Amino acid sequence: MRRRGADKFGVKAEVKNLNSFRYLVRALEYEIDRQVALLENGGAVEQETRLFNVQAGRTEPMRSKEFAHDYRYFPEPDLLPLAVDAARQERIRREMPELPAAKAARFVRDYGLTDYDAGVLTATRALADYFEAAAAKSPNPKAAANWIQSELLALLKESGKEITDSPVKPEALAELLKLVEGSTLSGKMAKTVFQKMFATGMNAAEIVAAEKMEQVTDAGAIKKLCTQVIEANSKEVESYRKGKTALFAFFVGQVMKASRGQANPQLVNDTLKKLLDAE
């Protein structure tokens, strides 16, 4: 909003004695109110230096300065005027790289990221480039963003590496996410594989094959494991069926232990639920 008299008098007060942002805010608020009141009542804002009285919460006159040179303002004599024609300005705009704010907005729009995620991933150009390379090959760009922010950045910080030195390349991360998406690996198993990828530089498929880490998704095999666990824990089954439903986590844990953590967790939960609730 333009205040009466502002064009004529402008804002001319210089405020000193500010040693924190909190005091700066308080001084600005006070000066805004003071100068507006002066102008609206027909007064003029004097060109002067004022100090901020912390205890009183107000600015106070310190000394008067009548002209710009009193503030030691003077033009630089060695700087020539610079005129940039419209054609050159347009060429510069075309050649400029995508700026962080525009890139963050595009990440939100094109990849479905939150504003927070986009802000983190555009903190540096190298990090943004890594994400885009991973997202281009990944079945789920949002999952790629989550893995980069949680798993990758944590390991990079721990090892003192930059994103450009990551042992896990964007394409390798995307391949790992495909294994999770296809249920070859559970989320927990994938984290273990990722740590090995970071430590060795091997890709996910090589580690999974070498350590036989494929997730068990065969319904018949999982039902067999669940049945064995139920039969071996008859007292717990009886307690569960009498209302101690918290024991369900115990059965899940036993099945996962028997499968060496390779059984599909959702399939284990569904199968156990049917078997335990059957009369």
254-272: per-residue pLDDT in tens?
888 887 777 878 888 888 8
Chain mean pLDDT for the chain: 86
pLDDT at 130: 98
pLDDT at 65: 60
- In angstroms, the CA 265 to CA 208 distance is 18
- In angstroms, the CA 41 to CA 36 distance is 8
- 227 with 203, same domain? no
- 231 with 205, same domain? no
pLDDT at 279: 57
User: Is-above-0.85 flag for pTM?
Assistant: no
pLDDT category of residue 5 using cuts at 50, 70 and 90? very low
pLDDT at 72: 62
Q: Which residue has the higher pLDDT, 67 or 205?
A: 205
Residue 263: beta bridge partners?
Answer: 216
Q: Which residue has the higher pLDDT, 64 or 202?
A: 202
Domain-embedded: residue 119: yes
| Structural domain that includes position 106 | 100-211
Domain-embedded: residue 53: yes
- 140 with 196, same domain? yes
Helices (H), 82-203: 86-95, 100-111, 115-121, 125-137, 141-147, 153-159, 170-181, 187-200
Beta strands, E only, the chain: 13-16, 48-53, 58-64
- 63 with 19, same domain? yes
Give the phi and the psi of residue 10 in degrees, each rounded to 5. Answer: 65, -170
- In angstroms, the CA 207 to CA 147 distance is 18
pLDDT at 109: 96
Domain-embedded: residue 142: yes
**Is residue 59 helix, strand or coil?**
strand
- 56 with 159, same domain? no
- In angstroms, the CA 167 to CA 156 distance is 9
Which of 192, 211, 230 marks a domain boundary?
A: 211
Which residues neighbour 29 within 8 Å (Cβ) at sequence distance 6 or greater?
none
